[in-house]
Structure 1
């Protein structure tokens, strides 16, 4: 099992009473089997149930216990790859379709969050995407023009505009309207609770160790305890490329990143409208606030697959992130209370892998990759649901596993 994080996580302490689901203890038949109980699996199961697809979800650990717990909960339509770069990579039409789909996915996430019985900390926010250096300014302006031409709600702020609203000055920034924040742990648990009430079947501590196609075309999944699920369709919603299939799919890079959560800040007045904040530098610094007045800061990506195990080295990274926070907001003095290191995947063309296995009928993947995993999960849920039901989806060719853009990078 791939290790997804190390350290002291914040989100799980915000929700104490979570449902427990029994391991699979008898053979089952279903229309759809989802492997993975994180953000991707939860959103897929929710949309599948709404579309009347009989579904069983299996998770080798616990629901929301993997990458979801280390997710920092920023929901943005802008991507790790700028729209102007994506246009050069896949053409203006497809790049605009993808960016508009990401904007729409944030709206869909809001609708899903508002439908739940519990408050999952979904709040609409604007984002400040600032130029880290003067050299980044011309491209940032080009990106602004591309976003505007795409019909997205954006503004360009000068250095003076930034200084009017924040206690720091940067060469320039794009302000995007239509983003949001969420508590990912609460959101996933809320989604699965609601889907179970609609008929979803969940089995935790159920590890799939074999997957074969029967002569009938059905798929047989076998657990480590010897029980079987027979399904018409199988969805791998496991975040990154399944280890069981390594070598059969196109590779991506798995790196590690770092995040911290401060104590409750006594005063957030200098943080204009609690914007989400990130920058043009790569790797980039990003930050947000929480419902209870904490600050989440992430960044310092490293090209190493395993999360950092050394407590002292992890504390050094969080100390550096904390210093970067205080350089922007000198009045934010609350100390670090939570810190972690987590795996972080990036595809070669900076797009997710979503869709059908090109060589295995009725097998699908929802593999997020990049900083927009939650947004991609919502895109995936609708796209895969359409594929299962034999419908067309406008993103299919753009994000499929054997897309042409991978050959161009």
Structure 2
């Protein structure tokens, strides 16, 4: 099992008791088998189930036990790849279609969160995307014009406007309206529970070790304990590509990133409307607040796949992140209470991998590479549902595994 994170995670301590699901202990048949019980698997399973598809979700560990716990919960329609760059890469029509889909996905996440019986800390927020240096200001203005031309709700703030809202000065910033934040651990547990109540069958501690196609075209999944599931369709929602795909279809890089959560801040008045904050530099610093008044800070990405095991080295990065926070907000003095290091993936064209296996009928992938994984999960849920039902979806060719934008990479 791939090690996804090390350190002291914050989100799991915000939810006491979690619902448990029995391991698979008998052979079963279903329309759709979803492999993976994290953000993408749970969201896909909920949408499938609510759409009338008989679905079983199989998780080799615990629901929300993998990357979900290290997710920092920023939900934005802007992506790691700027819209203006995506236009150059895949054309204006497709790039705008993708960005609009991200905005719609944030709205669908809001509707989903509101439908849950569990409070998952979902709050609508705006974002401040500032120029890290004067040299990056022209590119930021170009991005603002692209977002505005796409019909997205954005403003451009001058240094004076930034200073009138925050205790720091930057050469310029885009303010995007329509973003959000969530407690990812609570959200995934809430989504899985709601899906189970709607008819989804969930099996934790169920490791799939074999996947064969029968002469009938059905797929047979076998667990490590020897039980089998026959499914018409199989969705791999495992965060990153299955080992059998490595290097064949998915062109991506696995890196590691750092995050911390402070203690409760006694005073957040200078943090205008609790905006989500990030910057143009790459790798970028990003931060948000929590419903109980803490601050989440992330960044310092490194091109190394394995999480850092040295607690001393990890804390050194956390102290650097805290210094960057306090450079922007000098009055925030609550100490670090949680810190972790996690593996994350970036596709080489800045888009997620969602769609059908081009060589394996009725096998699909929901691999949400990049910093916008939760948003991509909601997009994937609807796209894959449409593919399974034989319907079309406007993003199919844009995010499929063998898309044209990967040909030259």
The aligned runs of 1:112-131 (5 Å cut-off) are: 112-131=112-131
Match of 1:353 in 2: 353
Mapped partners of 1:121, 1:333: distance in 2? 24
Equivalent residue runs for 1:214-233 within 5 Å: 214-233=214-233
1:65: which partner in 2? 65
**Residue of structure 1 equivalent to 2:301:** 301
Match of 1:267 in 2: 267
Stretches of structure 1 lacking an aligned partner (at least 5 in a row): none
Contact kept, 8 Å, 2:259 with 2:341, in 1: the verdict is yes
TM-score by length of 1: 0.99
2:36 corresponds to: 36
Contact 1:89 1:408 in 2 (8 A): no
Secondary structure of 1:331's counterpart equals: coil
- The C-alpha deviation readout for 1:106-152, integer Å capped at 9, x for no partner, is 00000000000111010000000000000000000000000000000
Aligned to 1:280: 280
Does the 8 Å contact 2:132/2:279 carry over to 1? yes
Shift of 1:92: 0.2
- What stretches of structure 1 move > 6 A for 4+ residues in a row? none
Mapped contact 1:253–1:346 kept (Cα < 8 A): yes
CA contact (8 A) 2:250 2:353 kept: no
Is the CA contact (8 Å cut-off) linking 1:84 and 1:146 kept in structure 2? Answer: yes
Output the CA distance in 1 between the equivalents of 2:359 and 2:103: 31
Gaps (5+ residues) in structure 2? none
Cα distance in 1 for partners of 2:259, 2:319 equals 10
Q: Secondary structure at the match of 2:147?
A: helix
1:219/1:233 contact within 8 Å kept: yes
1:4-403 paired onto structure 2 within 5 Å: 4-403=4-403
Shift of 1:69: 0.4
Q: Is the 8 A contact 1:241 1:249 kept in 2?
A: no
Report SS of the residue matched to 2:98.
helix
Deviation at 1:17, TM superposition (A): 1.0
Query: What is the CA–CA distance in structure 2 between the aligned matches of 1:61 and 1:245, rounded to whole Å?
Result: 21
